[in-house]
Structure 1
Amino acid sequence: MTIPVELLSDPTVRAFVTALNAGDRAAFQALLAPGATMSDDGSDRNVDDWTEREVFSSGGYMDVESQDEDGRSLIARYRNDTWGEMRTAWRFDVQDGKVSRFETGQA
């Protein structure tokens, strides 16, 4: 069962998932704080390179299965044209309505 994106409780995370699923680079970039960082399976990655490869040029899409109480940790089925579909965990650090860091990896 998935949670409709509009029901995600944290507004910044909701906007992040919406932009990612729409392939909207401009909206996605606007949600990132200056100097935002990220990691994939525990290894820090360059945000721009990673999102281009894993999201925008490969049709990335997230179906959220669950969220924690504050809405900043998600379990989702993530799929793209490169890797297919996998169950992933996402964690977000949000400051002043911007994502300062996100971490993802297999769940």
Structure 2
Amino acid sequence: MTISVDKLTEPAVRAFVGALNSGDRDSFRTTLAPGATMSDDGNDRDIDEWTGREVFDSRGHMEVESQSADGLSLVARYRNDTWGEMRTSWRFSVEGGRVARFETGQA
């Protein structure tokens, strides 16, 4: 069972997932706070480089399976043209209504 993007409870996370799934780089960038950071499997990465490779250039897509009560943690099936599909976890920090940091990795 999946949770539709419009049912995600945290507005910044909802905007992040919606922009990622639509493949819209410009909208995605507006979901991020200035100076936003990220990590993948515990290693800090450059957001622009990572999202270019893992999301936009490889048609990344998230199907959310569950969310935490505060909406800041997700478990999702993530797929892209490079790696196929995998079960992933996502944790978000939100400041001023935008994502200040996200951490992802295999669930």
Q: Which runs of 5+ in 2 are unaligned?
A: none
Which residue number corresponds to residue 103 of structure 2? 103
Q: Report the TM-score, using the length of structure 2 for normalisation.
A: 0.99
CA shift at 1:41, angstroms? Answer: 0.2
Instruction: Provide runs of 4+ in structure 1 moved above 2 Å.
Output: none
Equivalent position amino acid for 2:98 in 1: K
Which residue number corresponds to residue 83 of structure 1? 83
The secondary structure found in structure 2 opposite 1:13 is helix
User: Separation in 2 of the partners of 1:8 and 1:98?
Assistant: 15
User: Separation in 1 of the partners of 2:11 and 2:22?
Assistant: 16
Paired residues in the alignment total 107
Q: Which runs of 5+ in 1 are unaligned?
A: none
Equivalent position amino acid for 2:55 in 1: V
Q: Report the TM-score, using the length of structure 1 for normalisation.
A: 0.99
Instruction: State percent identity of aligned pairs.
Output: 70
